[in-house]
Structure 1
């Protein structure tokens, strides 16, 4: 295993809102930071609903993974942060459209979170490089 740690960044996903990388590659894995449903073209949330924001968040994750030389089929773990747990079903429907392989990523989802920019959803992921 290599001891190298490499930052991953793409203009096809929103820039980091703080002191962190969009993703980091290390030891054969890609650790994607939590992605809000921000449209990278506008810098604004992609919609008012949790489903719309989840869809954009997953697009952002896909763009970052592509930049890192991977894709969503190689995601092994994801975490979904919801402002309102009542939005779980709507977000899960969008998530299921993204992860269509026979083996779904391990996942945690929980609500009651205060998410930056007033977002309703934030999703992070760990993938194999």
Structure 2
């Protein structure tokens, strides 16, 4: 099985020694995305829903760069800096995964890169 690295300028560049996504066979592993505007490189400020939307837009952009769609996501991992934001993130998440949502884990962590409030990584298959 071959492995290929996925990269797009429609999502933020990796801020460390990793790729935006790796494709292996029919699986696509998308690295955790945070609320950074890919055009400006600026961290999106604002409320939790605004940041969650940017994160999911970034996830979608990486998926599309590999010719995948949100419907191809089979597993998502959501990292929150405060579990009190669970409901707000869930509302936005449901807008993106409205039909046949993927399996998911959601955990509170002590800290996220650049002190953001939410990070999401996904695995897609087709």
Q: Which moved more, 1:48-57 or 1:32-41?
A: 48-57
User: How do 1:21-32 and structure 2 match up within 5 A?
Assistant: 21-32=19-30
Superposition TM-score, scaled by structure 1 size:
0.94
> Pick from 64, 67, 70: which aligns with 2:68?
70
Note the aligned Cα RMSD (angstroms). 0.9
Tell me, yes or no, if the aligned pair for 1:81 and 1:113 is still in contact at 8 Å.
Answer: no
What per-residue deviation string (whole Å, max 9, x for no partner) do you get for residues 42-62 of structure 1? 212222322111100100010
User: How do 1:1-129 and structure 2 match up within 5 A?
Assistant: 3-101=1-99, 103-129=100-126
Structure 2 regions of 5+ residues with no counterpart?
A: none
Q: 1:123, CA displacement in angstroms?
A: 0.2
Q: C-alpha distance in 2, partners of 1:21/1:13?
A: 11
Superposition TM-score, scaled by structure 2 size:
0.96
Tell me, yes or no, if the aligned pair for 1:13 and 1:60 is still in contact at 8 Å.
Answer: yes
Aligned length: 126
